[in-house]
Amino acid sequence: MATLVDNRYGKAKVRVLRLFKTGDYHKIFDFDCCVLLLGDEFKETYLTGDNKRVVPTDTVKNTIYVLAQQETFKSLEEFGIILGKHFIKTYSHVQGVHATMKENSWARMGTGKQQDHSFVREREIHTIQVNSSRGQEPQVTSGIDDLLIMKTTQSGFEGYNKCQYTTLKETSDRVFATVVTANWTYNTLNVDYTKAFEIMKQSVFEIFSSTYSKSVQESLFLMAKLALERCPQIETIKMSLPNKHAFGFDFSRLNIQNQNTVFQPVEEPSGLIEGTIKRSVSSKL
Amino acid sequence: MTDKDIASKEGSWKELIRKGDIVDSTKILEDEVKKTPDNSMAWMYLGTVYAEDDKDTEALRALETSVKLDPNNLAARVLLSVSLANELQLERSMDVLYQWIKRNPMYSAIANQYTYNEKQNDTAPQSMVNPFIDEDNPFLYQLDTIGIEYKQKTIIDMFTEASRVNLENPDPDVHIILGILDNVRSDYESAVNHFKLALEIRPDDYQLWNKLGATLTNGSRPQEALSSYYKALEINPSYVRARANLGIAFMNMADYPNAAKNLLHAISMRPNVPNHMWDTLTNIFLILHRDDLVTKSRQKDVSLLQDDLELF
């Protein structure tokens, strides 16, 4: 009559701030962590309420803090791998671990010595997903979220399909604003994740700022392509770029011409452009 | 075994590989390394046949062993650096080649003029930098990218200097290594020039023709790669890697029927081929929207696709 198809459980939204102190210099990881455990034997409590195999979610939470203090890591992707490895090693009935993290970006503030320990929050979020399974290599997905960027020229949209419902005017000079979301996977565990994240971000910035955009689609592809070129360890990139429209204000009823300097940003609706770009198969020497 | 025995044995392995009967030579060499596990040359030839079958993971293990047994086995070092480059272990690939020049009496003086910081022991990593990486898997190796550009420049400078030692009679090995190093830093144009130069001296080196083809394809010139692969296959018709690469070149040219045909051909050449070849074939069928063939290729059974081979 009723079948438990799958299940996972754990602790979500565990807030952690971890400092690595090298003398006066502090490196920080400020993140929100979710660890979910998977395993056939956890079915029992769903089906009969028998809790003997259940590792309490409170223990999961405590473990996150214990490992955060005990372990050394250079990125949260590495911490995610450490978490997976710990639960699989410690509890023989855990078959898999899904660790998801959202890392807040903090830029260093001031100059000289102040930079060691003073920070200012930036908008974008670094996302991390590590799926670990017993006896297999962990699957790491990194991402960036909420990266809001805008360019005020060097963007257009022309030559598109027109029909009786088309009212949009062609333009070769428009404002282009978007909130970048990207997720990417790797072809190896041999990765400097911090560098991969930086490469992704810089690829977005470089294409956005230095090329004329014929469409959001074209820019999306170029950004991903550049990141694949610069980071050989990245395998697949999934990108989502909403087109946050800013239309020239319609002065026509006031008999005034818009000089292409006053716009009306429109929150909703937005265009939404998505694509997945995969590294072409490489030829072996 | 006397030196003479060893030499005649090596000659027979070379002959086996040259004849292209890889199934047989793999078997013979696998048995040989069981019998004489400390024979660096046997491991090297075993690594060679694995690489020719496009099995880099296996090739890597065999060649690591070969170099570990005899750090002065320079030929094994070149092969190892290629497998490492194919597997994107770029820094290790450079480190292995650094030891090549350092241990080569002809060029060691050049190497000694430069400061080059090796990551660690140039054979399999001794200690894992990261506690979360499996000790059982020596191929997971933490890459520290700081300073890697500088190392790249240093090692290329070293080999460029070596290539100028005798301009009248260029050393093909030095140019092959420069081609590998250029591939590592994605300078495909320069790599093409080095491989072409080496091919003038070794026109019958089918592995080298494949290297040229792969470099052209990776550098977005798949059309030009075709003739290199045809040349490699003309010399050694059962060279699986060149056949698979030919399929990939067609894939890059968006000629999917020819891509599928060559991939399938490569797959049918051996009783067991590495998974990545099946994955590539599946991807081609996905692009062609041939769900029926996708289902078949996911089962990794070549007999299921035998009849479809003629469709392409």
Task: Report the 3 state secondary structure along B86-120.
Answer: HCCCHHHHHHHHHHHHHHCCCCHHHHHCCCCCCCC
Between these two residues, B128 and A262, which has the higher pLDDT value? A262
Q: What is the DSSP string of A247-278?
A: EEP--GGGT----S--EEE--SS-EEEEEEEE
Residues A99 and A151 in one domain: no
pLDDT band at A151 (very low <50, low <70, confident <90, very high): very high
A282 contacts in chain B (CB < 8 Å): 86, 214, 218, 248
Residues A126 and A172 in one domain: no
Q: Would the CB atoms of A281 and B183 count as touching at under 8 Å?
A: no
**Straight-line distance from the first to the last Cα atom of chain B, in angstroms, rounded to the nearest whole number:** 52
CATH of domain B204-311: 1.25.40.10
Catalytic status, residue A26: no
Interchain CB contact of B297 with A (< 8 Å):
no
What average pLDDT is seen over chain A? 95
Based on the structure, what is the number of domains in chain A?
2
The predicted pLDDT at position B129 comes to 35
Separation of CA A203 from chain center: 14
How many C-beta atoms lie closer than 10 Å to residue A69's C-beta?
Answer: 8
Q: Is residue A283 part of a domain?
A: no
Catalytic status, residue A245: yes
Residues A118 and A163 in one domain: no
| Residue B140 predicted with pLDDT over 80 | no
Average pLDDT of the residues in B99-111: 95
ipTM, two decimals: 0.82
Q: Is A227 helix (H, G, I), strand (E, B) or coil?
A: helix
Between these two residues, B8 and A203, which has the higher pLDDT value? A203
A26, A252, A262 from A257: Cα distances, Å: 54, 7, 11
Q: Is residue A43 part of a domain?
A: yes
The predicted pLDDT at position B21 comes to 64
Q: Would the CB atoms of A283 and B89 count as touching at under 8 Å?
A: no
| Residue B227 predicted with pLDDT over 90 | yes
Residues A127 and A61 in one domain: yes
Of A83, A112, A136, the domain-final residue: A136
- Interface size A-B, in CB pairs within 8 Å, comes to 64
Query: With the C-alpha atoms ordered B149, B150, B151, B157, is the resulting torsion angle positive or negative?
Result: positive
Cis peptide preceding A269, ω within 30 of 0: yes
| Residue A274 predicted with pLDDT over 90 | yes
Out of A43, A45, A57, A93, pick the active-site residue.
A57
Q: Is residue A23 part of a domain?
A: yes
A43, A88, A94, A250, B95 from A39: Cα distances, Å: 8, 10, 5, 60, 43
The predicted pLDDT at position B88 comes to 79
Residues A208 and A156 in one domain: yes
A189 contacts in chain B (CB < 8 Å): 133, 140
The predicted pLDDT at position B309 comes to 67
Sequence-ordered alpha helix ranges (H) in chain A: 43-48, 57-70, 76-90, 193-210, 216-230
Compute the residue count for chain B: 312
Q: What is the pTM of this model?
A: 0.71
Interchain CB contact of A111 with B (< 8 Å):
no
pLDDT band at B145 (very low <50, low <70, confident <90, very high): very low
Q: Is residue A223 part of a domain?
A: yes
B20 close to B53: Cβ distance less than 8 angstroms: no
> Tokens 């019998």 map to which residue?
B35
CATH of domain B89-109+144-202: 1.25.40
A285 → chain B, closest CA residue = B211
Average pLDDT of the residues in B110-136: 56
- CATH number of the domain encompassing residue A155: 3.10.270.10
Of A94, A113, A136, the domain-final residue: A136
SS (H, E, C) B218-286: HCCCHHHHHHHHHHHHHHCCCCHHHHHHHHHHHHHCCCHHHHHHHHHHHHHCCCCCCHHHHHHHHHHHH
Instruction: Indicate the range of A70-84, A105-119, B12-26 predicted with least confidence.
Output: B12-26
Domain that includes residue A54, residue range: 9-136
Residues A63 and A150 in one domain: no
Tens-place pLDDT, residues A209-232: 999 999 999 999 999 999 998 898
Question: Class of B1-70 per CATH?
Answer: mainly alpha
Average pLDDT of the residues in A6-23: 96
Cβ-Cβ contacts under 8 Å for B120 (sequence gap 6 or more) = B126, B127
Residues paired with A178 in a beta bridge: A149
Report the candidate in A101, A111, A119 with the shortest Cα–Cα distance to residue A26: A119
B92 contacts in chain A (CB < 8 Å): none
Strands A271-278 and A176-186: what pairing? Answer: unpaired
Tens-place pLDDT, residues B14-27: 777 766 666 678 88
What average pLDDT is seen over chain B? 86
Residues A271 and A172 in one domain: yes
A60 close to A91: Cβ distance less than 8 angstroms: no
Q: Is residue A218 part of a domain?
A: yes
The predicted pLDDT at position B124 comes to 38
Please tell me whether A211 is known to bind a ligand. no
User: What is the Cα–Cα distance from A46 to A29, expressed in whole angstroms?
Assistant: 35
Residues A169 and A214 in one domain: yes
B241 close to B210: Cβ distance less than 8 angstroms: yes
Instruction: Indicate the range of A27-41, B211-225, B258-272 predicted with least confidence.
Output: B258-272
Q: What is the DSSP letter of A155?
A: B
Structure tokens, B304? 């299921």
Cβ-Cβ contacts under 8 Å for A282 (sequence gap 6 or more) = B86, B214, B218, B248
User: What is the Cα–Cα distance from B153 to B147, expressed in whole angstroms?
Assistant: 10
Interchain CB contact of B248 with A (< 8 Å):
yes
Q: Would the CB atoms of A283 and B82 count as touching at under 8 Å?
A: no
pLDDT band at B125 (very low <50, low <70, confident <90, very high): very low
Residues A123 and A158 in one domain: no
A170 close to A154: Cβ distance less than 8 angstroms: no
Tens-place pLDDT, residues B38-79: 999 999 999 999 999 999 989 999 999 999 999 999 999 999
Q: Is residue A4 part of a domain?
A: no
Residues A161 and A128 in one domain: no
Q: Is residue A285 part of a domain?
A: no
Q: Is A284 helix (H, G, I), strand (E, B) or coil?
A: coil
User: What is the Cα–Cα distance from A4 to A261, expressed in whole angstroms?
Assistant: 59
CA quadruple B178, A232, B92, A138: dihedral, nearest 10? -160
Residues of chain B with CATH 1.25.40.10: 1-70, 204-311
| Residue B144 predicted with pLDDT over 80 | no
The predicted pLDDT at position B137 comes to 37
Of A104, A136, A168, the domain-final residue: A136
The predicted pLDDT at position B312 comes to 59
Report the candidate in A245, A267, A225, A86 with the shortest Cα–Cα distance to residue A150: A245
| Residue B4 predicted with pLDDT over 90 | no
Residues A163 and A250 in one domain: yes
Average pLDDT of the residues in A82-107: 97
**Straight-line distance from the first to the last Cα atom of chain A, in angstroms, rounded to the nearest whole number:** 57
Separation of CA B185 from chain center: 16
Residues A178 and A132 in one domain: no
